[in-house]
Amino acid sequence: ELKVEQNPLFLSMQEGKNYTIYCNYSTTSDRLYWYRQDPGKSLESLFVLLSNGAVKQEGRLMASLDTKARLSTLHITAAVHDLSATYFCAVDEAAGNKLTFGGGTRVLVKP
């Protein structure tokens, strides 16, 4: 059974500083997704990582995938208040398009 773990579960950030969210998963996969969820809202797709070594960047966010280590990271550069949200990673175990989600990392960026 695929298990996906994120850490930390909660991250209090200071504006302007850099932080990393980690996503570990338990079985082989080369498809990993990052989503953002604002309170009371739906999930917004951030990144799709489809191979070992994949790196995607959008604004202050950068995601990477190491399939050998079964690890993905979401790096936040120079945090700003607008990045406050909950971030989820999700893994597609056998490219069957059936996702298993991590528990989420709640991010709060303080001035």
Q: Which residues bind another protein (CB under 8 A)?
A: 4, 31, 33, 35, 41-45, 48, 50, 88, 90, 92, 95, 97-104
Query: What are all long-range contacts of 14-18, with beta carbons under 8 Å and residues at least 24 apart?
Result: 14/79, 14/109, 14/110, 15/78, 15/79, 15/80, 15/81, 15/109, 15/110, 15/111, 16/78, 16/79, 17/78, 17/79, 18/75, 18/76, 18/77, 18/78, 18/79
Residue 68 beta carbon to another protein: minimum distance, rounded to whole angstroms: 20
Nearer to another protein, 42 or 111 (CB): 42
Residue 13 beta carbon to another protein: minimum distance, rounded to whole angstroms: 19
Nearer to another protein, 71 or 99 (CB): 99
Nearer to another protein, 69 or 95 (CB): 95
